[in-house]
Amino acid sequence: MFFGTHSLSLDDKNRMRLPAKFRAKIGNDFVLCLGTDGCLFVMSEQEFETFISKIDSVPLSSREKQNAIRAITSRVYIPEEDAQGRFVLPAELKKAAGINKRVVFMGVRSRIEIWSGESYDDRFGKELTSIDSAVDALKEFGF
């Protein structure tokens, strides 16, 4: 499982590497894709397979749902790392997440989220949610 946050900057060639603690846990095979709420997701190939397998039962005759599947699967990348473990952030994903230079990696249990530094600051940096309000928000799930 992934927890915590790490911040870094893209280099001049839009390359980055996963933080060492996350890299050690995710292994060598991982995918990078659009996430929700304006972030990107990084998942192990195994976790991504579990995530994406839920769409296997969607009928081909359901055009709207098939278009949703296409929107998800057409924006999945398997990064190619160089000798230093860096990979290029695809321009499409960089633009979609509003990333300029600074990125924040956030561990969210089975996945890693990548946020633009600005989006992270706007959403999470102003006022940290107290543990009490976080537990209250999750009460229906047994917290």
Mean pLDDT for 79-105 is: 95
Phi first, then psi, for residue 70 (nearest 5°) are -60, -40
Kindly list the domain boundaries of the chain, sorted by start residue.
Answer: 5-117
Residue 68 CA to residue 53 CA, distance in Å, equals 14
Q: Which of 118, 82, 96 lies closest to 39, judged by CA?
A: 96
- To the question of pTM greater than 0.85 for the whole model, the response is yes
Tens digit of pLDDT for each residue in 4-60?
999 999 999 999 999 999 999 998 899 999 999 999 999 999 999 998 998 888 999
Q: pLDDT confidence of 129, banded at 50, 70, 90?
A: low
Contact 94, 11 (CB under 8 A): no
Structure tokens at 84: 């230093």
Taking CB atoms within 8 Å and a gap of at least 24, the contacts of 8-11 are: 8/102, 8/103, 8/105, 9/101, 9/102, 9/103, 10/89, 10/99, 10/101, 10/102, 10/103, 11/86
Q: What is the pLDDT of residue 130?
A: 67
Mean pLDDT for 118-129 is: 79
Q: What is the pLDDT of residue 124?
A: 84
Residue 116 CA to residue 95 CA, distance in Å, equals 10
- Quick one: 5-117 is in which CATH superfamily? Transcriptional regulator MraZ domain (3.40.1550.20)
For residue 143, give the 3-state DSSP assignment: coil
% the chain with pLDDT above 90: 73
In the predicted structure, residue 128 carries a pLDDT above the cut 60: no
In the predicted structure, residue 73 carries a pLDDT above the cut 70: yes
